[in-house]
Amino acid sequence: MSTVTLDKPVAARSEGGRRTPGDALVAGTSHTMLIIWSVIVIVPFCWVVLSSFKTSKEILSSPFSLPAEWSFDNYASAWTKAGIGTYFFNTVIVVGTALVLVMLLGAMCAYVLARFEFFGRRVIYYTMLAGLTFPVFLVIVPLFFVLQGFGLLNTLPGLILTYVAYALPFTVFFLYAFFKTLPDDVYEAAMMDGAGEWRTFFRIMLPMAAPGMAGVAIFNFLGLWNQFLLPVALNTDRDNYVLTQGMASFSSQAGYNVDFGALFAGVVLTVLPVLVVYLIFQRRIAGTVSTGTFR
Amino acid sequence: MAQTAGGPSEENPWGAAPGRRRRKLTLDRALFMTVFLGLPVAVFVIFVVVPIGQALFYSLTDWTGFSPVMNFVGFDNYAKLLDDETFLKALRNNILLTLVVPLVTLVAALAIAVVVTTAGPSTGQVRGLNGSGFYRVVSFFPYAVPAVVIGLLWAQVYDPAAGLLNGMLTGIGLDGFKDYAWLGEVRAAMPASMFVIIWASIGFYTVLFVAAIKGVPAEIYEAARIDGAGRFRTAISITLPSIRDNVQTAYIYLGILTLDAYVFMAALAPGGGPANSTLTMSQHLMNTAFKKSQFGYATSMGVVLALVTLLFAALVFVVFHFAGGRDKKGDVR
């Protein structure tokens, strides 16, 4: 038995380094398919970037040529005239605040649910879980009137609180799994040293959960930055628009006189921050769940 | 699961502590748990749970929103839905989306994930193709772009005259596509919209599956290879069963996405497309509520949407349960 199992890896290793014809075939086919897919993903974006430097007339008359001259006029008019600048600022405030709040509240909730046994634990956990599956459309009308009742309709704080509430189930669900895996010994040791629950959480358990927190935070950032339905229904004051709303109204409101150049520039401006966050953290995104068994 | 649920220990959680996480309740601990649970749960209850309850109630009324007049009409709204041709059309569109989009997305995402993690050279360590990091980065990227922007972008790509797609098709000699309105033809609008959602979703699920596959111990793959399993066999017999739970979760997520589909569809074809061919329940709901102010009727659509979503999730659970009998995990999950 042992000789058999030993034999084969040795045989495999003897031809190591060289690729078999099968390898080459599989690699070739896979690369071809993946390159085609990458082109389908990338080309529309390149086209948008290119178009964002053209005048609207150029876009309509010769959609595929290079811009006659590379000008940033579209960006200027998108930023100021179309109000993208204001929307950008609003989005940063709303998403930033909501993100900090939801990570804090989510970690608190997940920690208690994962590491304490008490009456009603399952009820809370499953209610949160159900919150993940219920479509927002079920509540969009009542939510409108709840916010109105608090005087928070069409305000940024109202939007922030709503974002927090709807990002909470996702956050709790994933951090719950994370806090469950943290070793009990550390907690016991901290208790033994008289750290108390509060200090144990903020000084020991939370820092230990940092990798999980980072992963969830990135996903929350992307989700909140891209949120559209909640602001469309609950934040109809033009001064308080967030980017996604601004983009949608920008293209629809102008009707047949759409400033295409500024529209494309607006797309680039909306995508750029998420692209930066994504490129910086893409390893973390991929690694959030992975332990890097082999790479 | 839930071995202790309903048991005596559940009724008296602070008594003798049998569970390993059951500890004595000191004042400090009680305060800690109250604050830590109270704040998040309060936010959740006020903004999620209460509105759900209200929605169920509103759906039984003829409320028009801004006047206090509200008559209880029982299940009239639901009966009306059965006769609402537009709603039924929208429901069928959503079902069509849910049949096609998750399946295509998952198959493509799984294929990419398998290739970039385990389809590398058959000698040496089990690993992915060379340069797989690049494909992963590229294909995830659409997830980072707001769905509205993706919709707007593709609406431009599909533009009959100045769009990228027709420009490329006529460029390679297919002149039949000159001025073809991808989103304006009944036959093409739905497939074209589906493609956009699939295009936008594949990357996210690829990353999800890549992470899951990397969590499978490398020894299993090495053992399979030693036993002579090829790449395809390994993918079917090792990878797929190992990440079954992730696939199930992904299927449910995608189903929730396609039963909603509001953002994509609203950006691609705000009016519901030619002959309502891409109208979704969510779009119909938003029109009924915020344009026609029939809030009671609109919330009944929301309830139906939620029920269909739950039904779908339950269906996926049942199918996956019978499709492969892997052991279930014991804990609350």
| pLDDT confidence bin for A291, thresholds 50/70/90 | very low
Q: A242 near A32, Cβ under 8 Å?
A: no
| pLDDT confidence bin for A12, thresholds 50/70/90 | very low
Compare all CA atoms of chain A with the CA of B115 and give the residue at the minimum distance: A30
Q: Which residues of A touch B243 (CB under 8 A)?
A: none
Distance between CA atoms of B70 and B50, rounded to whole angstroms? Answer: 19
Q: Which residues of B touch A127 (CB under 8 A)?
A: 44, 49
Quick: pLDDT tens for A98-110: 999 999 999 999 9
Distance between CA atoms of B300 and A215, rounded to whole angstroms? Answer: 37
Q: Which residues of B touch A125 (CB under 8 A)?
A: 332
Position A8 scores a pLDDT of 38
Q: What six digits make up the tokens of A27?
A: 């690699």
Q: What six digits make up the tokens of B75?
A: 């299940």
Of B138, B222, B332, the CB nearest to A38: B138
Distance between CA atoms of B169 and A98, rounded to whole angstroms? Answer: 44
Q: What six digits make up the tokens of B151?
A: 């919709």
Q: Which residues of A touch B231 (CB under 8 A)?
A: 26
Position A5 scores a pLDDT of 37
Quick: pLDDT tens for A157-209: 999 999 999 999 989 988 888 888 888 888 888 888 888 888 889 988 888 88
Distance between CA atoms of B91 and B259, rounded to whole angstroms? Answer: 9
Task: Report the top-level CATH class of B85-323.
Answer: mainly alpha
The structure's pTM equals 0.81
Q: A163 near A94, Cβ under 8 Å?
A: yes
By the CB < 8 Å criterion, does B64 face chain A?
no
Q: B266 near B280, Cβ under 8 Å?
A: no
Q: Which residues of B touch A40 (CB under 8 A)?
A: 199
Cβ–Cβ below 8 Å for B20 and A47: no
Tens digit of each residue's pLDDT, chain B (333 residues): 333 333 333 434 444 333 445 567 788 888 888 899 999 999 999 999 999 988 888 888 888 766 677 778 888 889 989 999 999 999 999 999 999 999 999 999 998 888 888 766 666 666 666 677 788 778 778 877 888 889 989 988 898 887 888 888 888 877 777 778 888 888 899 999 999 999 999 988 888 888 888 878 888 888 888 887 777 888 888 888 888 888 888 898 899 889 989 999 988 988 888 889 999 999 999 888 888 888 889 999 999 999 999 899 899 888 888 876 554 443 333
For residue A170, which of A137, A218, A228 has the smallest C-alpha distance? A218
Compare all CA atoms of chain B with the CA of A195 and give the residue at the minimum distance: B28
Q: Which residues of B touch A13 (CB under 8 A)?
A: 123-124
Per DSSP, the residues of A119-169 read TTHHHHHHHHHHHHHS-GGGTHHHHHHHHHHTT-TTSHHHHHHHHHHHHHH
Distance between CA atoms of B73 and B62, rounded to whole angstroms? Answer: 6
Q: Is the dihedral of CA B158, B164, B166, B172 positive or negative?
A: negative
By the CB < 8 Å criterion, does B18 face chain A?
no
Q: Which residues of B touch A140 (CB under 8 A)?
A: 285-286, 289, 302
**CA distances (Å), origin A171, targets A99, A221, B212:** 10, 11, 19
Q: How far is A42 from chain B (nearest CA, A)?
A: 7
By the CB < 8 Å criterion, does B200 face chain A?
no
- Domain ranges in chain A are 2-73, 76-287
Q: A104 near A285, Cβ under 8 Å?
A: no
Q: What six digits make up the tokens of A131?
A: 């919150």
Position A91 scores a pLDDT of 93
**CA distances (Å), origin A77, targets A73, A221, A239, B200:** 6, 27, 17, 28
Which of A222, A247, A294 best probes binding to B when mutated, by most B CB atoms within 10 angstroms? A294
| Burial class, A26, CB count within 10 angstroms (exposed 0-12 / middle 13-18 / buried 19+) | buried
By the CB < 8 Å criterion, does B10 face chain A?
yes
Cβ–Cβ below 8 Å for B218 and A131: no
Q: B211 near B108, Cβ under 8 Å?
A: no
CATH number of the domain at A76-287, please?
1.10.3720.10
Which of A117, A222, A232 best probes binding to B when mutated, by most B CB atoms within 10 angstroms? A117
Q: Which residues of A touch B289 (CB under 8 A)?
A: 140-141
ipTM greater than 0.95? no
Position B305 scores a pLDDT of 92
Position A136 scores a pLDDT of 85
Quick: pLDDT tens for A86-96: 999 999 999 99
Position B16 scores a pLDDT of 39
Position A10 scores a pLDDT of 38
Which of A97, A138, A293 best probes binding to B when mutated, by most B CB atoms within 10 angstroms? A138
| Burial class, A12, CB count within 10 angstroms (exposed 0-12 / middle 13-18 / buried 19+) | middle
Question: In the 8-state DSSP scheme, what is residue B182?
Answer: T
Per DSSP, the residues of B99-137 read HHHHHHHHHHHHHHHHHHHH-S-SSSS----TTHHHHHH
Distance between CA atoms of B304 and B230, rounded to whole angstroms? Answer: 47
Q: How far is B173 from chain A (nearest CA, A)?
A: 16
Cβ–Cβ below 8 Å for A279 and B142: no
Delimiting residues of CATH 1.10.3720.10 domain(s) in chain B? 85-323
Portion 190-249 of A in contact with B at CB < 8 A: 196-198, 201, 222, 225-226, 228-229, 233, 243-244, 247-248
pLDDT(A256) > 70: no
